[in-house]
Amino acid sequence: MLVFLVLASYKVVTVDAPLLRIGALTMAVVFGRVRYTLQRTRSGDAEAAAAERAGASGTAAIPLDRVGIVSGVTVRFTLDENLPHAAQPRLLALGWDVHDVYDEGFCGVVVTLFAVGRRSLALGMPPSDVTTRLNLYGLTRSELQQQLVHWGIKPVHAARLWKYLYIELVSSLDDMPELLPKLAVRLREEATLGVLPTALETASSDGFTRKYLLSLPDAERIETVLMRFTGRVTACVSSQVGCAMGCVFCATGQMGYTRHLTPGEIVAQVVHVARVLRHEAPRGSVKGAITRATRHALGTRLRNVVLMGMGEPLHNYDAVMHAVDIMLDQNGPSLAAERITLSTVGVVPGILRLAAEQRPIHLAVSLHAATQAERAALVPAARKWPLDELMAACRTYSEITGRRIFYEWTLIEGKNDSEEQARAVGELLRGLPAHVNLIPLNPTTGYDGAPTHSAAGNRFREILQQEYALPSTMRQRRGIDIAAGCGQLAVLAS
Which residues participate in catalysis according to the annotation? 223, 486
- Looking from the CA of 374 toward its CB, the CA atoms found within 13 Å total 15
**Angle subtended at Cα 363 by Cα 468 and Cα 208, rounded to the nearest 5 degrees:** 95
**Residue 493: CB partners within 8 Å, gap ≥ 6?**
255
Beta carbons within 8 Å of 232's beta carbon, 6+ residues apart = 299, 303, 304
CA–CA separation, 471 vs 437, rounded Å? Answer: 9
Going from the C-alpha of 202 to that of each of 240, 418, 458, the distances in angstroms are 21, 35, 31
**Distance spanning both ends of the chain, measured CA to CA:** 49
The SS3 of residue 326 is: helix
Of 246, 205, 272, nearest in space to 485 by CA: 205
**CB neighbourhood size of 459 (10 A):** 16
How many residues are listed for the chain in this entry? Answer: 494
Kindly write down the DSSP assignment for every residue of 453-472, as one continuous string: PHHHHHHHHHHHHHHH---E
SS3 19: helix
Helix (H) or strand (E) holding 390: helix 387-401
What residues contact 57, with CB distance under 8 A and at least 6 apart?
none
Q: How far apart are CA 294 and CA 282, in angstroms?
A: 10
Q: What's the Cα-to-Cα distance from 221 to each of 176, 306, 365, 411, 491, rounded to whole Å?
A: 28, 19, 26, 29, 7
CA–CA dist 485, 130 (Å, integer):
31
